[in-house]
Amino acid sequence: MRSKQPAPFGNYEPDKGAASGVARVAKGVLSIGKRYAPLPSPVAYSSSPLNDFCLGAAGFYDSTGLPVSFLGDTGRLYRLLKKEPVDVSRPGGYAADPDWQWSFGQYNNFIFAAARGVPLQYMELGGTGTFADVPGAPTAEVVFRIRNHMFACAGRTVNWSAFNDPLDWEPDFATQAGAVELGQERGIIVAGVGGEQGAIFQERGIVRVTYQGGEIPWIFDEVEGGRGACSPGSVSRWGTGAFVCAEDGFYFWDGLKIEPIGQDRVDLTFSRELNYPYRGRVISAIDTVNKCWMVAYPAGSSVVCNRQLIYSWADNRWTHDDLDVQALFEMPRDGVNADDQEAIEALFGTANVDELTDVSVDSAAWRESRKSWVMVDTDRKVRVFTGPPRRAVVETGEFEPNPAQQTYLSEIWPVTDAEPGDVEITVYARQRLGEQPCFADSNGVNEYGCCELRAEGRFLRAEMVIREGARWSEAHGIHWDGEPSGER
């Protein structure tokens, strides 16, 4: 008896029981278009390491649309120039708190950087090329922009700059610069996001920030109590909202309210695995092309982020992986350099300048406007997720081919475009729900796309492994061939 419908590779929802039909593993993959697709491996971008443990990074665009990216460790700030981190710190460097993260923000051509124990820093793109203390700025651990003001927060204090002047922080009704103290019951401020409206994330609460103008220009509404954000890097802005990693799980802030996206799926797993004393190192970033949000956190006894959960908001599905990372951020992709003949030919079909007369030097074709995931590894080097596919492990949910009967399984036909020689199938089986699933059989896929094996049980689960570096683009599930082998 061959299955008429495939047993799909299940949704990764480890918080649920095995009998619910969900998958226990969906590793090294992304969920794209309701299918599992490869997660590219991170490959070297820079050859020079940072001097110390990376405490944050961010990518921006300058006034001409070219990408600019910055990183920070305990003692230095860096700018990526020709793919290498170049020290752009103020003279003497810094002594940033290693248990906090750098926060970066942009106001037109000004880049701001804040860290615990460091005066608020700024750099003007096209200026001296190094950071400096912002004159007269307040203490700042978090920095972000809302409308025509820069915000700098520390502890429970919120400061905002003068209207349209991010270097003027002297409180004044005339300039609209000012400060406010948030309620202590929700803890310290750990992150903020801006835009037309803004949101401030405390440890145990969220405050919506709305502009009204006048001498008291901002309204601060406490709209969420009990949950906030667990670190400066745990919030990733998207559109008018933000994805948020709180101590109890994962949420999406839509600008008005917060919606759970990990409840009964991955929240409990995250809370159990998180090395709580190092929750301040949780980091996250968005891949706009694949519509996925990645969160990296220290699991078990690790003090660096060694576990990733990846959420596809288009598919509303989670996947996961295990990579050791110090930082994770969204970096604008490099544009095409006029000296890069290979890239020019790939973009325009020719590298002959005489044949590119209809492409001006100001053409958008030379620039990128997309951002993607970038990480800093434990060697303190920058790596980009553009390499060959990671080793993929996906599985079906547990299924019962013949209700209340055992099934003898003899063949499995994986629904994937991976080459047969790159695929291996393992089957796990059990007779009743009270037992633990046991290994039944495993085999590679032959040249005809079939995996021949022998497995018997009432409840069955199939796991597929695609080797690292294999070329493939989709994995959906399995067809199986078997027959009833007994009664309950």
Torsion angle, alpha carbons of 46, 49, 54, 60, to 10:
-30
Number of helices (H) and strands (E), helices first, in the chain? 2, 39
Q: What pLDDT score was predicted for residue 20?
A: 84
pLDDT value, residue 346: 41
Whether pLDDT at 284 is above 50: yes
**Smallest Cα–Cα separation from 179: which of 148, 139, 208?**
139
Q: Which residues contact 474 (CB under 8 A, 6 or more apart)?
A: 35, 36, 37, 416, 417
83: its two tokens: 């793919």
Label residue 167 left, alpha or beta by phi (over 0 means left) and psi (-120 to 50 means alpha). Answer: alpha
Give the model confidence (pLDDT) of 409-466 as tens digits: 899 999 999 999 999 999 999 988 878 889 889 999 999 999 999 999 999 999 999 9
Beta strand 371-377 pairing with 325-332: antiparallel
Is the pLDDT confidence value at 189 over 90? Answer: yes
The pLDDT of 19-43, averaged and rounded, is 95
Superfamily of the domain at 41-333+368-386: YVTN repeat-like/Quinoprotein amine dehydrogenase (2.130.10.10)
Return all residues near 127 (Cβ < 8 A) that are at least 6 apart: none
> What is the C-alpha to C-alpha distance for residues 4 and 430, in angstroms, rounded to an integer?
23
Exposed, middle or buried by CB within 10 Å (0-12, 13-18, 19+), for 447?
exposed
161, 163, 164, 170 alpha-carbon torsion, rounded to 10°: -40
Q: What pLDDT does residue 380 have? A: 97
The reported pLDDT for the residue numbered 35 is: 96
Domain ranges in the chain with CATH number 2.130.10.10: 41-333+368-386
Alpha-carbon distance of 331 to 63, in angstroms, equals 16
Residue range 255-271, pLDDT digits in tens: 888 999 999 999 999 99
Q: Distance (Å, rounded) from C-alpha 52 to C-alpha 428?
A: 45
Categorize the per-residue pLDDT at 366 as very low, low, confident or very high, splitting at 50, 70 and 90.
Answer: very low
pLDDT tens-digit map of 218-260: 999 998 888 899 999 999 999 889 999 999 999 999 988 899 9
The structure tokens listed for 194 are 């801006």
pLDDT for the residue 334: 64
Confidence of residue 281 (pLDDT cuts 50, 70, 90): very high
Measured between alpha carbons, how far is residue 35 from residues 18, 302, 475, 477 in Å?
21, 32, 6, 9
* For the chain, percent of residues with pLDDT exceeding 70: 91
Q: What is the pLDDT of residue 394?
A: 98
State pLDDT tens for residues 80-103: 999 999 999 999 999 999 999 999
Instruction: Provide mean pLDDT across the span 134-147.
Output: 97
Find out whether 204 and 226 touch, Cβ atoms under 8 Å: yes
* Res 369 pLDDT > 70: no
Give ranges for CATH 2.60.120 in the chain: 7-36+391-487
Chain-wide mean pLDDT for the chain? Answer: 91
| Amino acid 347: pLDDT | 41
Please provide the DSSP assignment of 121-171 as one string.
EEEETTTTSS-EEPTTPPP-SEEEEETTEEEEEETTEEEE-BTTBTT--S-
CA distances from 480 to 48, 398, 400, 410, 452 (A): 50, 13, 12, 8, 10
Using 50, 70 and 90 to split pLDDT, how confident is the model at 344?
very low
Rg of the chain over Cα atoms, rounded to whole angstroms, equals 26
Decide if pLDDT at 348 tops 70.
Answer: no
pTM, two decimals, is 0.91
**Residue (of 148, 181, 174, 175) closest to 162 by Cα position:** 175
Is the predicted pLDDT of residue 9 greater than 90, yes or no? yes
Give the pLDDT of residue 474: 97
Amino acid symbol at 122: Y
pLDDT band at 64 (very low <50, low <70, confident <90, very high): confident
State the SS3 of 394-455: EEECCECCCCCEEEEEEEEEEEECCCHHHEEEEEEEECCCCCCCEEEEEEECCCCCCEEEEE
H or E segment at 191? strand 189-193
Cα distances (Å, whole numbers) of residue 172 to 162, 163, 178, 215, 406: 8, 10, 6, 8, 78
The more confident residue out of 426 and 372 is 426
- Given this model, what pLDDT does residue 434 score? 79
Is there a contact between 78 and 68 (Cβ–Cβ < 8 Å)? no
Q: Read off the pLDDT band of 356 (50, 70, 90).
A: low
Q: Give bridge partners of residue 325 from the DSSP assignment.
A: 305, 377
Residue 345: its pLDDT value, please?
Answer: 45
Q: How confident is the model at residue 19 (pLDDT cuts 50, 70, 90)?
A: confident
- Distance between CA atoms of residues 246 and 138, nearest Å: 27
In CATH, what number does 7-36+391-487 get? 2.60.120
Identify the H or E element spanning 271: helix 267-273
Residue-level pLDDT at 404: 83
